Amino acid sequence: MTRPAPVVTRPYISGDAAALRRLLDGYVATWYPPGQTWGEADRHLLATAPAGHLPPDGQTLLAWRGGTAVGCLLLRRDTVRAQVGELRKLYVVRDARRAGAGSSLISRMVAEAMMLGLVELELLVADSRPAAVAAYRSAGFHPAGDQAGPDGYTRMVHHL
């Protein structure tokens, strides 16, 4: 039995546009059933990504396995708190889950955030996604006790 190719995580390049679009479409399909409307912020992000999520304002990472993009994670710098970044849209395709792609994306993004001069990362994670909560915890994120997220979500922070 052959082992799957290792997961390699790297920053977005212009030739990755179609792969990023496919991953973000997968994200939408996971979170929003057909016919359900989604928020204006998500609609704008998905229409314009990776704009606003590239250096120096952020970063977009893709995880690759055997030449196929299997995951993505976006970071944007807060427009008011310039040393704070928000992680957004962690997504890994189903057949690459539990293979280290999510953890690889998170740990690489923490390093990228430090290179951008950020001192804190924050995110909202759905309470219905215990694997994502565990991945963020193992990367050093913790619940922001004094800043609860909206119902069904936990706000997490990581001080770099």
pLDDT tens track for 14-46: 999 999 999 988 887 777 666 666 666 777 777
Can you give the pTM of this predicted structure?
Answer: 0.90
Q: Which residues pair with 65 in a beta bridge?
A: 7, 68
Task: Indicate the DSSP class of residue 118.
Answer: -
Which class in CATH covers the domain with range 7-117?
Answer: alpha beta
Pairing status of strand 58-65 against strand 142-143: unpaired
pLDDT tens track for 134-148: 889 999 999 987 666
Q: Pull the structure tokens for residue 160.
A: 């770099």
Q: Would the CA dihedral through 109, 111, 115, 120 be positive or negative? A: positive
